[in-house]
Copies of this chain bind each other. A is one copy, B any other.
Amino acid sequence: MKEILREIGMIARALDSISNIEFKEFDLTKGQYLYLVRICENPGIIHAQLLEMIKVERSTATRALQKLETNGFIEKKDDPHNKKNKLLFPTEKANAVYPFIKRENAHSDGVALHGFSEEEAETAFDLLQRIRKNVEKDWESVKKGNKRDY
């Protein structure tokens, strides 16, 4: 079995580490950029949807979002149709930072795909999407307490 998981882990840690260093200049601490971009792109998204999008722990997200709110990057509003839900919105400050995050992320994508033909880049993206879809099923199951057999 091809050890793709190791490669993916290395790539993810390296890029996340770089991003965290680069976003400190915007007063975004560890991991916060992940939430911020999604909220900017999906204003009004709820906590639980964000979790599924990013694949993080509920409680981890709660603290990250609390901090983003404290630091004026996002606003939580009550959902008029469902009192359980808290809708997440970007503030002006978030929208101002968003393009820089996008640019940095695009640069990292560019670095990652350096030397790739258009076609190879396309292939890489397609294969990764398929891998992600395969993996997220297991993630959701294990998170709910189910055991995997192997």
Residue A71, interface by CB 8 Å: no
Residues in B whose Cβ lies below 8 Å from that of A55: 9-10, 13-14, 17
Residue A11, interface by CB 8 Å: yes
- Encoded as 1 (CB less than 8 Å from any B CB) or 0, chain A from 1 to 21 comes to 111111111111111111001
Knowing A13-B55, A18-B142, the reply to whether A5 touches B131 (Cβ < 8 A) is no
Residue A112, interface by CB 8 Å: yes
How many protomers of this protein does the assembly include?
A: 2
Q: What is the interface size of chain A, counting residues whose CB is below 8 A from a CB of the partner?
A: 61
A135 contacts B112, C-beta separation under 8 Å: yes
Binds B, one of A62-70, A73-81, A85-93, A114-122: A114-122
